[in-house]
């Protein structure tokens, strides 16, 4: 849905045609659910948070700035809803990325070009375990959804420089885990 269509739907809803909100739900429910799932790691919780986020978006639609993208605004609501849920439950969030998270191979110049898909998946699974829900969100949106730093700043209420710092730190954490695992694997292989 393009920005003009979003604006038309939002204006119609604000004028009382509440059925138009269904078009926004249809356009963005998949993205909202995927984001919830990536933060929460549980499909039932993700469905609940997605539904809660759409209810909150509907109730706050009058506050929406028409010069913004609805998707960015909605994903911020989804993000905040999921983070609130994880804080309320005070639990660590297991992250189990699906197979589409992993490239089939990596470039040979990165030092691990010979890893197969299964090895890559194992490495990234371990690396994601050290990330907080906030870091998972930032990494996912930046690398998988191609969100810009400014969009991430808007979604998370962080400054653009803070988003950059958090992305950098998340990448460092992942790098440390991957390097450690590879070092252990090399040592095991050399003792054979």
User: Which of 114, 110, 140, 145 lies closest to 128, judged by CA?
Assistant: 140
| Choice between 155 and 185, residue whose per-residue pLDDT is larger | 155
The answer, yes or no, to whether residue 109 has pLDDT greater than 70, is no
Residues 8 and 84 in one domain: yes
**Domain count within the chain:** 2
pLDDT at 13: 94
Residues 130 and 150 in one domain: yes
Residues 112 and 46 in one domain: no
The answer, yes or no, to whether residue 168 has pLDDT greater than 80, is yes
Answer with the one of 55, 70, 89 that is the final residue of a domain. Answer: 89
The answer to the question of residue 94 being in a domain is no
Residue 117 belongs to domain with CATH number: 1.10.10.10
Q: How would residue 101 be classed by pLDDT, with cut points 50, 70 and 90?
A: very low
Q: Which residues of 24-33 are buried (b: 16+ CB within 10 A; e: fewer)?
A: beebbbeebb
Percentage of the chain surpassing pLDDT 90?
45
Q: What is the mean pLDDT of residues 143-151?
A: 88
User: Which of 38, 35, 12, 39 lies closest to 23, judged by CA?
Assistant: 12
Residues 7 and 71 in one domain: yes
Structural domain of 103: 99-190
Residue 76 belongs to domain with CATH number: 1.10.1740.10
Residues 104 and 43 in one domain: no
Q: How would residue 188 be classed by pLDDT, with cut points 50, 70 and 90?
A: confident
């Amino acid at each position: 849905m393009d920005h003009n269509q979003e604006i038309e739907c939002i204006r119609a809803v604000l004028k009382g045609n509440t059925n138009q909100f269904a078009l926004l739900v249809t356009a963005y429910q998949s993205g909202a659910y995927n984001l919830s799932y990536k933060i929460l790691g549980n499909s039932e919780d993700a469905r609940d948070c997605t539904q809660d986020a759409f209810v909150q978006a509907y109730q706050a639609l009058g506050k929406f700035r028409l010069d913004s993208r609805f998707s960015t605004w909605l994903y911020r609501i989804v993000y905040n809803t999921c983070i609130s849920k994880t804080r309320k439950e005070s639990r660590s969030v297991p992250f189990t990325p699906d197979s589409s998270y992993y490239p089939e191979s990596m470039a040979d110049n990165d030092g691990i070009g010979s890893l197969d898909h299964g090895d890559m998946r194992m490495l990234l699974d371990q690396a994601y375990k050290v990330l907080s829900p906030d870091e998972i969100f930032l990494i996912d949106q930046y690398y998988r959804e191609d969100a810009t730093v400014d969009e991430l700043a808007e979604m998370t209420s962080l400054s653009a420089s803070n988003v950059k710092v958090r992305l950098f730190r998340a990448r460092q954490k992942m790098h440390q885990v991957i390097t450690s695992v590879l070092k252990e694997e090399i040592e095991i292989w050399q003792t054979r």
